[in-house]
Amino acid sequence: MLRPILRLGDSVLAQPARPVAAITPEIETLVDDMIETMYAAPGIGLAASQVGQSLQIFVLDLSLGKDPQALTVMINPAFVERDGMQLEEEGCLSLPGFTSTVARPKRVVVKGLNRQGDEQTIEGTGLLARALQHEMDHLNGCLFVDRLRGISRDLILRKIRKLTKAGKW
């Protein structure tokens, strides 16, 4: 089932997510819905908080559904390592139509549970590292715009305020 994606301004997006206590049928349904919603958006990642569930879950697929092996489901993830730095353009399904250059680690290692509850570790560089960090930020109540400073941040927030006043956000 497609779920609505929350936008900047919704309080759920600004809250740290709670750990998942057990992988129940409700969690399995949420994961399925998140995958369907991510592909329909279309996007390469989606955190549970973006669909209104303050839980430590994200789904990720850099192939946009073209490679079934590329789909990652991560439950209760934690960073093991982060190093280096990359600067690239980034967007977010919760800020549709907005992008900006964001500093992210060049390499990350994340561990957590897969959808069966088995521990998994993912090492990513480049776009995968960026996407993992982006989704981890969501689980900590942080959007990419929160990582911006100065004029880049101000321009995006000003445009969103105008859209909100006009009833278009």
> So which residues are the catalytic ones?
135
Q: Are 138 and 58 in contact (CB under 8 A)?
A: yes
Q: Are 109 and 123 in contact (CB under 8 A)?
A: yes
Residue with tokens 């690239």: 88
Sign of CA dihedral 102, 55, 72, 42: negative
Token code pair at residue 39: 């592909």
CA–CA distance, 168 with 119 (Å, rounded to integer):
42
How far is the C-alpha of 112 from the C-alpha of 80, rounded, in Å?
10
